[in-house]
Chain A
């Protein structure tokens, strides 16, 4: 369960919980005797025997690599292939297959046609939803009947109270949005114009807050979107 620092229309703010609402089917696999089978990750090929390594060992001669493959199994390390991969780490490797400890990361910004637009130092997005500064009430309300098919709502979080005071706080927000039949645009920053980032390096999203109520209970949903519902330009021209 995560947290979010949220303001209401009266500029009162509170830190409340966010709850994941994703679902997935849990499957078990049974063998012919009805015993459960389990997953393991195994080595198929090692980096020191891949095509680049084989080419380097033969002076870049692809024909020589082909001949070696016909004659034997230079790509197979019998000691390692088929072994279990456990307690692994992710590392960066240089072209000469050495682990690199000091790396520099760059962002390559590309246009929709694939052309390079910009190259800049990589700066991971910083979380901005649960800090000391609350997410302001943007006041930008969009009618649910008009906005549902404008954006692709790829993810959502349910916002829930942590005590009696925040129950009242969230119920009022849900009721207000329900009565207005609208979704509230939620963003970070003083003008609520910045995308929401939930963890360091996480995907930035636009937030849309929806409220539903049933008697004394409420459902406050933060829809998350990073995509408009429109066809790519090429498809539109076609």
Chain B
């Protein structure tokens, strides 16, 4: 069981237990078994560029290097955006109560890709909040499980059976699209050229 997540609803702090929901728990899963010609199980490995080095699961690591090729501790590095502005680290949502102050519309919720869902076990005293959720309310807030540079959007909602869930997602860049503006032919045409063209058809050119 994961650590409890505390929501601040009005003046009440409500501590919910989380249980991650995934396909494996709901429907089971399909694993792939790979065997050689003798029926022996095979494992996936990485073959290095030298054609000899074989590295198994967990046998490689990512390192940060400076322009001189020197190793850098991640903690000694400063994260910045593409524009060079420093990025601030958001705290974990488990570090302090999450205030429920903003509601989202269905369209707003549907504009996110949901990457994780947690079933919530409501504590005593959450009846009013549950009543709101079962009435269709969606609360939204920044959410970060461990803390990080790019917090997700959290949504507190209830399914049709009234069970509360936490959905964690990322906003998508949906855009309304239209036909490009048509160019006004009068504005583009050269008046002298137009005078010469007239409506005549030059059969001599053929």
Contacts and interface: CB of A to CB of B under 8 A. Distances in A.
A227 B106 CA distance: 18
Interface in B68-113: 72, 74, 76-82, 84, 87, 106-107, 109-110, 112-113
Nearest to A145: B106
Given A24-B150, A31-B66, A35-B66, A216 B179 contact: yes
Interface stretch (B3-11, B123-131, B170-178, B194-202): B170-178
Given A40-B65, A42-B63, A102-B36, A85 B176 contact: no
A110 B136 CA distance: 35
Interface string A113-127: 000010100100000
A146 B114 contact: no
Interface string A201-220: 00000000010111111110
Q: How large is the interface on B (under 10, 10 to 19, 20 to 34, 35 or more residues)?
A: 35 or more
A100 B112 CA distance: 42
A132 B99 CA distance: 51
Contact of A218 (B115, B167, B178): B178
Contacts of A109: 28, 30
30 contacts: A22-B113, A26-B82, A28-B79, A28-B80, A31-B78, A32-B76, A36-B67, A42-B62, A43-B59, A43-B60, A44-B61, A45-B55, A85-B48, A89-B46, A91-B54, A97-B54, A100-B42, A108-B30, A112-B28, A122-B32, A145-B136, A146-B160, A149-B160, A154-B114, A156-B113, A218-B178, A229-B21, A229-B165, A230-B161, A235-B119
Given A30-B78, A103-B36, A229-B159, 17 more contacts: A25-B149, A27-B80, A28-B79, A29-B64, A30-B77, A31-B66, A31-B72, A37-B77, A42-B61, A44-B55, A45-B58, A95-B40, A100-B42, A108-B33, A150-B160, A155-B113, A210-B110
Interface of B: 19, 21-37, 40-49, 53-56, 58-67, 72, 74, 76-82, 84, 87, 106-107, 109-110, 112-115, 117, 119, 121, 136, 149-150, 157-161, 163, 165, 167, 170-179
